[in-house]
Amino acid sequence: TPTPTPTPTPTPTPTPTPTPTQAADDWTDVTLLDRKECLRSRTAYFDYDQANVRGEAQEMIRCHAKWLQNNPNARMTLEGNADERGSREYNLGLGERRGNAVRDLLLANGARSGQLNVVSYGEERPTCVETSETCWAKNRRTEIVYTVKQ
């Protein structure tokens, strides 16, 4: 007599273990940035008609570079600005040079180029509108703006 063939027992499929993902995927949770003091500051100021990153801003920029290095999905826009002195075209170029100076320092400290976008607003977005050196100094800046989920 023929021997009956055993019925195969299905092997249970293991349930996949969820892998930890970046909390916000391609977005940055700004509340996480605010937990670390050096990340709370997001503005680099420049001397008149200059695009060299001042010494006091370098440590802050290095801190942001480390954040970007550890959070590869994070993205930021570097918004270069100028004071009102000079032509519109010149100030747009100066704002771009300032944004690029911050970008270059971020890249030199571990950020990836795909994480960074540079835009220049020239004199179009002043934070101060008085006609004084104190006010103009506030407008000579590059702002670090993270892409955040709304």
Cα distances (Å, whole numbers) of residue 91 to 38, 42, 95, 120, 143: 29, 21, 6, 9, 16
We report the CATH number of the domain holding residue 34 as 3.30.1330.60
Note whether residue 8 is domain-resident: no
Note whether residue 17 is domain-resident: no
Which phi and psi angles does 135 have, rounded to 5°? Answer: -70, -45
For the chain, 150 residues long, give each residue's pLDDT as a single digit of tens: 666 665 655 555 554 443 333 444 445 566 778 888 899 999 999 999 999 999 999 999 999 999 999 999 999 999 999 999 999 999 999 999 999 999 999 999 999 999 999 999 999 999 999 999 999 999 999 999 998 654
Q: Which helix (H) or strand (E) holds 76?
A: strand 76-81
Note whether residue 119 is domain-resident: yes
Note whether residue 24 is domain-resident: no
R_g of the chain, CA atoms, integer Å = 24
Note whether residue 35 is domain-resident: yes
Note whether residue 1 is domain-resident: no
Note whether residue 10 is domain-resident: no
Q: What is the residue range of 94's domain?
A: 30-146
Note whether residue 3 is domain-resident: no
Overall number of domains in the chain: 1
SS (HEC) of 80-105: EECCCCCCHHHHHHHHHHHHHHHHHH
pLDDT of residue 8: 59
pLDDT of residue 20: 38
What are 76's strand-pairing partners?
A: 116, 146
